Amino acid sequence: MDIDLVLVPVDGSEQSERAAEYAIAVAERYGADLHVLFVLDERLRRDIDAGRVDPKEIAEDHRTFTDSVLEAFDHGEERTLCTSTATAFSEGRLLQTPGSVVLDVAEDIGADFVVVPRERGGEEAIGRAAQYVLEYASQPVLSV
């Protein structure tokens, strides 16, 4: 299998931390780059917009998460670690769901492999997307 870019969507949950560990292992095994996608669920986005949540705190959480991934990722001289953020819901686009956002980003960045956390009874944005990603991704998907 030829893997040049691994995508791991995360939301700050314990499940996404575990998925990041697997994504790092896959990227290192294949000498691939790693892209961490932070997915904001609709409730968090609404709370930010309404001023109930400080976006600086969310940004700091993302930085802390990224730093931990960067420490664990042996990127060497040839491999890179990239990050981006996406909102997993849109009132204007009914078809924009956490799963569709992950797949759109995977296509946009040319991901060859996706590692996604499984739903574990919670309502995290990524966990709810796992089944959708597994069913509709054109890339190989590892659900952990």
- Phi first, then psi: what are they for 141, rounded to 5°? -130, 135
Q: pLDDT tens digit string along 63-117?
A: 898 888 888 887 666 778 888 888 765 555 545 678 888 999 999 999 999 999 8
- pTM, two decimals, is 0.84
CA distances from 39 to 30, 48, 74 (A): 25, 14, 24
DSSP 12: S
Residue type, 122: G
C-alpha–C-alpha distance, residues 97 and 58, integer Å: 20
| Residue listed under structure tokens 């949540």 | 53
Number of domains observed in the structure of the chain? 1
Provide the residue range defining the domain that includes 95. Answer: 5-143
**106, 4 contact by CB (below 8 A):** no
**Cα 13 from Cα 44, distance rounded (Å):** 13
CATH number at residue 73: 3.40.50.620
Helices (H) and strands (E) in the chain, counts: 5, 5
How confident is the prediction for the chain on average, in pLDDT?
84
Q: What is the pLDDT of residue 1?
A: 81
φ/ψ of residue 12, rounded to 5: 90, -5
Query: How would you classify the pairing of strands 33-40 and 81-87?
Result: parallel
